[in-house]
Each structure stands twice: as C-alpha cells, then as structure tokens.
Structure 1
C-alpha cells in the first residue's frame, strides 16, 4: 500500500501532541503582581520549549524518512503506531517535568521519566527504518543502499545519546535537561548543513 494515509495520520498525531504541550502552561488566576507570577511559570516554559522542538524534530525526521519509503505493509503500520504512541506521551512527561521543577521535588524521577520516553521512542523509529531498508524492499529509487545505511547509523545514535542524557539526569537533573536541550540542535543542524553542501555542489555543476 502507498504511504499517504500513514503519513497523514502521523501528521495529525504529531500536530495534536505538539499542540497539547501548551495546556501545561496555566494562566495565573490572580493577576496581582502578574509579572512575578508569569516568571514563576518558567518550568512550564522550559518543558514546552524543549518538548515542542523534540516533537518537531521527530516529525521532521519522520517526514524525511518517508520521502524514501515508497510503500508500507501491516508490520510497518504497526511499528509506526508504536512510535506515535510514545510521541503522544511526550506532553504528559513534559507536564510531569514542569511540575517537579516548579515544586522542587522529585526532579530526578521526572527527568528520568522524560528521558525514558525519548529513548523508548527511538526504538520504533529505528525499527521503521531498519524494516523498510532491509533488502531495500520498501524503499523507492530516491536513495541507494549505501545512503540508507548511512542514515541508519545516524538514527541508531539517537537512543544512545538520549540514554546518556537520562543517565546524567539520574545523577543530576539539570545535566539531563541540558543534554536533552543540546541534542535538539545536534540533530537539526547536520541535515541543514548537508543540504547546504548539496546546494553548493549542484550550483557548481555545468548546465
């Protein structure tokens, strides 16, 4: 089967999950000293920002992955459903993290929970790609086996890095949060740089 319906359903889940994040930012009921009360919401702002960018990153890589996956079967649909199950859980973990930081209690548990969900999400994400690229059976002509293998190595690194962040968060919560935040530009920038280099190379080619 074609992947259009799978992608449309996935985009809907991504959109809902990323929108639900803002619900955690509660409007102050008492507007006396409003500036101070808004500043007190910084844990919610932090959880919202990191989680919004993380979900956006997963969506972008999911979109890039399905640029090369031409067809889907029931197993691929199942693996994609597992990924979406964990993506939909991120707003909950973001709320737990913000609440723990705001109350100054159980920050370690909250950071570990957040990281565990990110690590777990990496498994179905990688499973989708590995299943699709096996014998190049679900991939289209837009990518070679060698290029698919290079993408695979990059994807496989994700759960490892998020696992390191989770372990650091178990020791010191702020280190885990910093690691999760730093992984966002790490995973955004290389594709942008690669695309830029490809554009330069294309402009150098004679017509």
Structure 2
C-alpha cells in the first residue's frame, strides 16, 4: 500500500505527543508570589523546550524518510507503530526530568532515563530505514545507493550520541541535557530529506551508484 494513511496516523501521534508536553507545566497556586513561582518553573520550561525540539526533529526526519519510502508492508507498519508508541511516551520522561531538577535530587537517573528513551527511538528510526533500504524494498527506485548510505549514516548519529549522553547523564546530567539540545538542533537543520526525489530522475550517476551496492 502507499504511505498516505501511515503518514496521516503518524502525524496525529506526533501532534498529540508534542501538545501533551505543556501539561507538565503546572500553574502556580494562587496563594504564592506569581512572579517568583513562574521563575521557579524554569526546569519545566527547559524540559518542555528540549522535548519539543526532540519530537519536532524526529517528526521532520520521519517526514523526510517517507519522502523516499513510497510504499509500506506489514513489517514496516509494525515498526512504525512501535516507533510511535515511544513517541507518545516522551511526555512522561520529560515530566520525570523536570521534576528531578525541581527537587534537586536524582537528576542523573532522570536524565539517563530520558536519554535512554530517546536512544531507543533513534534505534527504531534506523531499523525502519535499514529495513526499507535493504534491496530497495519499498523505497523510491530513483534514489541512488550513495544517497541511501548517506541517509543511513545521518540516522546513526542519533542513537549513538543519545547513548553517549545517557551514560554521561549518570555523572554529569547537565552536560547530557546540553548534548540532547545540540543533537536536536543538528537534526532540525534542513538537509537531505527536504528536497524532492525528482532531482534523481535522469541522473546519470544513478546506475553507477546502484552498481556500488547498498
């Protein structure tokens, strides 16, 4: 089948998950000094921003991936559902991270838990792309082998850096949060997936690149 229903369902899950992030930010009680309490909520603002950027970056690259994947089968549908299950879960580790920084305790555990979830999400992204790209199962046949390898390398950056940040979090949670932010900005930067694959039509290098293998 084509990818339209998969993309529509995925967009809905991404939209809900990214919207739920704001629910972790609680309105200060009426009996408190509003200005001070709003400033005191800075860990929630930070966790919200980091997760919003993370989900946004994942959505952009999910969209870019399915510019090249032109049809889906049962296995790809299953992998995407498992991927979305983790996306929908992101608001929970976000709340855990914010609460730990609010209390000033257990920050390493909270940051490692957060990073671990993002690492697994990154692994699922790689599994989906590798499954799709293997022998050009459901991807656009006009996509060159060179491009396939480039996309695969870009996707590998995610789980590797998230895994490193997860380990770092156990010792330096603030550094781990910085790594999360930097990786999100890296993936938010427009690149390979945001141009039409039409540019590959009639590309004389296509047959040469394919002969090199995947």
TM > 0.5 fold call = yes
- Structure of greater relative contact order (alpha carbons < 8 Å, 6+ residues apart): 2
State the Cα RMSD in Å.
1.5
TM-score (norm 2): 0.87
Partners in 2 of 1:26 and 1:90 — Cα distance?
A: 18
Provide structure 1 residue ranges, at least 5 long, that are not aligned to the other structure: 196-207
Give TM-score, length-normalised by structure 1: 0.90
Q: Equivalent residues in 2 for 1:120-135 (5 A)?
A: 120-135=120-135
Q: Hey, what's the Cα distance between the residues in 1 that align with 2:8 and 2:33?
A: 45
Q: Secondary structure at the match of 2:189?
A: helix
Which one is further off, 133-142 or 183-192? 183-192
Q: Which runs of 4+ in 1 moved over 3 A?
A: none
Report SS of the residue matched to 2:70: coil
- Paired residue total: 194
Report if the CA contact (8 A) 2:70-2:138 is conserved: yes
Q: Secondary structure of the equivalent of 1:171?
A: coil
Shift of 1:131: 0.5
Structure 1 position 158, deviation (Å): 1.1
The SS at the match of 2:191 is helix
Instruction: State the SS of the aligned residue for 1:88.
Output: helix
Map of 1:92 onto structure 2: 92
Matches within 5 A, 1:1-207: 1-30=1-30, 32-189=32-189, 191=191
Q: Give the deviation of 1:123 after TM superposition.
A: 1.3
Q: Deviations over 1:14-59 (max 9, x none)?
A: 0000000000000112254211000000010000000001000000
